[in-house]
Structure 1
């Protein structure tokens, strides 16, 4: 949720954020009205409770003759107080609904527009000149690394088996990601993949894209699409200590996505699937450090991409494609030779205090009073990276060269051969 004090002081900034996202400005006015109504209801109820307390004190001190009239007045006032408290409860509910409807305020500098309005920040690495490159599935089948047919037999479309060197390659990649995270002070975590509704909702994933999430109705639990959800919930309803700097976690989890809106997109191979594994960075820091922390997460993502020696570009995601929680997002997209295009491999988002206000995560600021923290996330490696590694490092004889940094995690293998 956004800061209501910021909204009251800067309503035009929030309206501008909505315009940049391509969303309705009327939501801002509805939230302002709900906030005003709730504050008025609280003031009214508080005043009536004060009056009720004063009358109650008068009853205690009243003479026998004065008492009946005061008791009657106290009873009438009690009914008025009860009605005012009901009005306040209703105003609270209306405010919460209006508050949840407004996405995070977009950071200054983020491009306006939708999915296609991103800005390319930089391109890194030389695109390989391959003659008639095979796609990752053809390569993976030759290597005995990917089995889509049996994945579909067992789980349905968009499920797969990683077999042999495919399984080893994923484990090597994710272990290398964890090793890098630990090197930079992250605490490694293996996280739950089922979470309660209040945790899923607290991270902002039950909004416009809720249909992409798997739900277990009998248990009222959700399957996560990223360990960001569990890591955000890790410190819910806590006051955490940031006096020694950011708290950083690296979560390893299996992730699940329904891909409800993909409509046949990337159905071949393991680009867009229902289940995959991922190592996700997650940071809790102060609001004034959030921007710099975001750039650090991006740099760590790029370090991983350099280790697997694939060409990529960094894009500044447009406001309309941020999702409700993020104020700014950078994606790293790797070159995909078989399709002659870039493919998203990593994403890092600065969610400022949007998630922490929903999840009640605070730290003690300079004044000693609890203040909301900033939460940030960033991908360090996923199953999808295998796509880019296989395609960019394929050799004419059907083998795949293993990037030097990855070899120690693959038992010293320098080549994957059919």
Structure 2
């Protein structure tokens, strides 16, 4: 959620940011509602103050007027009676007007709140402007010693590349047929060394992040409340990609639970509605969790096998730091460095891409994608074998206070 005060002071910054991200949120409408709401609240506050003052003063004043009225006659009596009637009527008038203001505020607040949730975090000034992932900009790439980017995988390694489907079949690592039988399309079962390799990679990542870089290992729920999804910025925009669990036992708005698509939701949600001791910052967490995504609308060659699946396990690292841009950038660079250390230790060629404005998503001010070179993907070469291509394996984002405001997390 954005800072409303900052929006009021510089609306063009947020309008330009939304446009750069391709968001159609109606910011002028929000500002209109915000002005209306603040005006109504101001009037209501003034009336409540008068109501409180009258509550203390009306009794003595009524007694005084009634005493004066007994000894009055003629025009004086008429004037005193008019004052008495006005004084007796004012509390009821105040109560009625305050109730009317309550109703007016309640009528516009849902739209006012919903529009706030839709306003994206403006991208940083150094983020490249673009429409989608095709406009992302390569920052750098790395490969182990002896690797020549101008040569084929076979020329670099001395043997032809195989697709992951060929490898898992030859080594008996995955059973797709039975996985689909159990859970439907885009499902699988890891078998034998396939499962052991999977667990080893997760353990390697967690050990490197926690023991090597001091992150706190934390296991968090993967079934979460709607407030956690909204607070971390995945709702309202990401509902179509999220599995919902209907709650029959406690029906009603806000009672449904959701399967998370990232451990980030649980890690950030730990401190919702909290005031964190500033001396404890930064908070550095790492988790490994099962993630779920519907992948609605996904189609094509990148959905085959183990790509674009509905259930997967992922290692996540999160840093909650002070509201300082320089500190945010420092932690972001360090987190990217952790990923690079792992990939270099595994001798996996990769590149870093800075995502353009149109590929940032709602919550990010900046995002770096890390793509590994996958020799078994890409178009077929002259010999009918895949020519290889980069594929996203990691990403690292900076969000400033976007999630913290939505989660009511302060320090």
Superposition TM-score tier, normalisation by shorter sequence: 0.7 to 0.9
Q: How does 1:387-398 map to 2 (within 5 A)?
A: none
Verify the 8 A CA contact 1:207 1:324 in the aligned structure 2. no
Q: Quick check: 1:299 aligned with 2:337? A: yes
Match of 2:314 among 243, 262, 278: 278
Contact 2:153 2:161 in 1 (8 A): no
State whether residues 134 and 338 of structure 1, in contact with CA within 8 Å, keep that contact through their aligned partners in structure 2.
yes
Q: Deviations over 1:108-130 (max 9, x none)?
A: 21112222211111111135622
- Residue of structure 1 in register with 2:164 after alignment: 136
What does 1:102-117 correspond to in 2, within 5 Å?
102-115=119-132, 116-117=134-135
Give 1:194's aligned residue.
Answer: 223
How far apart, CA to CA, are the structure 1 residues paired with 2:100 and 2:352? 56
Aligned match of 1:179 = 207
Cα distance change on mapping 1:29 and 1:94 into 2, 3 Å = same
Which deviates the most, 170-179 or 4-13? 4-13
Q: Secondary structure at the match of 1:238?
A: coil
What SS class does the counterpart of residue 348 from structure 1 fall into? strand
Does residue 348 of structure 1 match 2:393?
no
Distance (whole Å) between structure 2 residues aligned to residue 215 and residue 159 of structure 1 = 18
Equivalent residues of 2:23, 2:120 under 8 A apart = no
Aligned equivalent of 1:76: 93
Secondary structure, counterpart of 1:297 in structure 2: helix
1:225 aligned partner: 261
Q: Deviations over 1:109-167 (max 9, x none)?
A: 11122222111111111356225421012111111111111111111111111111111
2:406 to 345, 358, 366: 358
Q: Deviation digits for residues 33-58 of structure 1, max 9, x if unmatched?
A: 22212211111111111222233233
For residues 19-418 of structure 1, the aligned pairs below 5 Å read: 19-24=19-24, 27-64=26-63, 65=66, 68-115=85-132, 116-125=134-143, 126=147, 127=149, 129-130=153-154, 132-182=160-210, 183-218=212-247, 220-288=256-324, 289-339=327-377, 340-363=388-411
**Cα distance 1:70–1:203, how it changes in 2: closer, same or farther (>3 A)?**
same
Unaligned runs of 5+ in 2: 67-82, 249-255, 378-387
How far does the alpha carbon of each residue in 1:178-201 deviate from its partner, in whole angstroms, 9 at most, with x for none?
111112111111221100011111
Contact map agreement 1:214 1:222 (CA 8 A) in 2:
yes
Shift, 1:168, TM fit? 0.9
Contact 1:258–1:274 (CA<8 Å) still a contact in 2? Answer: yes
After TM superposition, the structure 1 stretch with the greater mean CA deviation from structure 2, 237-246 or 61-70, is 61-70
Superposed CA offset, 1:269-324 (max 9, x none): 11211111111001111121212211111111111111221111100111112111
Equivalent residue pairs, number: 362
Q: Which has the higher helix share?
A: 2
Q: How far apart, CA to CA, are the structure 2 residues paired with 1:134 and 1:241?
A: 52
TM-score (norm 2): 0.84
Q: Using the alignment, how far apart are the partners of 2:15 and 2:85 within structure 1? A: 56
Q: Is the 8 A contact 1:107 1:328 kept in 2?
A: yes
Could you list the structure 1 runs, at least 4 aligned residues long, displaced by more than 3 angstroms after superposition.
66-69
State the distance in 1 between where 2:216 and 2:399 align. Answer: 20
RMSD of aligned alpha carbons: 1.6
Using the TM superposition, name which of 282-291 and 260-269 deviates more: 260-269
What SS is found at the alignment partner of 2:153?
Answer: coil
Partner SS state of residue 323, structure 1 = coil
Residue-by-residue CA offset, 1:328-356 (whole Å, 9 max, x unaligned): 11000001112221100001111111111
> C-alpha distance in 1, partners of 2:263/2:213?
19
Contiguous gaps of at least 5 residues in structure 1: 364-418
Contact 1:312-1:332 at 8 Å conserved across structures: yes
State how far apart, in whole Å, the 2-side matches of 1:231 and 1:67 are.
62
Stretch of structure 1 that moved more, 103-112 or 127-136 = 127-136
Report the structure number with the largest CA radius of gyration. 2
